[in-house]
Amino acid sequence: EPEVTQTPSHQVTQMGQEVILRCVPISNHLYFYWYRQILGQKVEFLVSFYNNEISEKSEIFDDQFSVERPDGSNFTLKIRSTKLEDSAMYFCASSPARTSSYNEQFFGPGTRLTVL
Amino acid sequence: AQSVTQLGSHVSVSEGALVLLRCNYSSSVPPYLFWYVQYPNQGLQLLLKYTTGATLVKGINGFEAEFKKSETSFHLTKPSAHMSDAAEYFCAVSSFSGGYNKLIFGAGTRLAVHP
């Protein structure tokens, strides 16, 4: 069964460093998302991406964040200069082409980012 | 704006007992509602969803949920808990716009099942 994959599973970085979190969405999906979950808190929407551009972004998704689909398979989240408060689990999700008013989102296993 | 409230961050039941996880939502438009489950060290897996139609929806692993508009609720139930049901459960509402959905999650409920 197709699934969303994410690498690495755990990333440790120093404050101020750049990190890139990678996701491979399900191959025929067209909508892509990043969410994050700070330890002990709820899962929060970061950004959605369609047709090679951002569809919507949350207040969390400031200028330190960027997303990219560099090729036909990968979807990346870059944090330019990490802060302690960026430590969280980051989830990638994807959904298929619009066939109805709702598209189920399929989630990856997450990348745990620890900023020291 | 939409929001989700899950009552009870931790729920503990005995194996074989009824599972009831509570979810209330706020939405200015007809909501799409979901329950996701997260097992340790795994991603979020869709248990069930309500979009339109029948208000009692059945999901995987014997779970079901009922959409009650008058109560703005979407509680998750399972008649008989199994040890393998121990996980974190998230209720979510979807904000639909332009062909895609942004999910707004509740804080989650950790379910413990003891023998």
Q: What is the pLDDT of residues A88-110, one digit of tens each?
A: 999 999 988 765 556 688 999 99
What are the residues whose beta carbons fall under 8 Å from the beta carbon of A84, sequence distance 6 or more?
A15, A115
Where residue B77 falls among pLDDT bands split at 50, 70, 90?
A: very high
- Determine contact: A11 vs chain B, CB below 8 A: no
Which chain A residue is nearest to residue B102, measuring alpha carbons? A45
From B104, B115, B25, B11, select the one nearest B68 (Cα to Cα): B25
Is the sign of the CA dihedral B99, A107, A48, A22 positive or negative?
negative
Counting one residue from chain A and one from chain B, the pairs whose CB atoms sit within 8 A come to: 68
Does A102 contact B102 at a Cβ distance shorter than 8 Å? Answer: no
Q: Tell which wins on pLDDT, A72 or B112.
A: B112
Q: Which residue has the tokens 């090679």?
A: A52
Q: Are strands B87-97 and B73-78 parallel, antiparallel or unpaired?
A: unpaired
Give residue A61's pLDDT: 95
Q: What is the pLDDT of residue A77?
A: 97
Nearest by CB to B96, from A91, A102, A107: name it: A102
Residues of B in contact with A102 (CB under 8 A): 32, 49, 51, 94, 96, 101
Gap between the Cα atoms of B48 and B33, Å rounded: 9
**Cα–Cα distance for residue pair B31/B23, rounded to 1 Å:** 13
Q: In this structure, what token pair is assigned to residue A84?
A: 């302690």
Q: How far apart are CA B97 and CA B82, in angstroms?
A: 38
The DSSP secondary-structure symbol of A99 reads S
pLDDT of residue A24: 97
**Interacting residues of A74 by C-beta distance below 8 A, sequence separation 6+:** A22, A23, A24
Smallest Cβ–Cβ distance between B102 and the set A4, A41, A48 belongs to: A48
Q: Which comes out higher in pLDDT, residue A51 or A78? A: A78
Would an 8 Å CB–CB cutoff place A25 in contact with chain B?
Answer: no
Secondary element (H or E) of residue A114: strand A111-115
Tokens at A62, concatenated:
């400031």
| CA pair distance A29, A13, nearest whole angstrom | 31
Residue A18's pLDDT band, with cuts at 50, 70 and 90, is very high
Q: Return the CA Rg of chain B.
A: 14
Neighboring chain A residues of B46 at a CB cutoff of 8 Å: 104-106
pLDDT per position as a tens digit, B14-70 = 999 999 999 999 987 778 899 999 988 788 899 999 988 889 999 999 999 999 999
Q: Do the Cβ atoms of A6 and A110 come closer than 8 Å?
A: yes
Question: Quick check: B83 pLDDT over 90?
Answer: yes
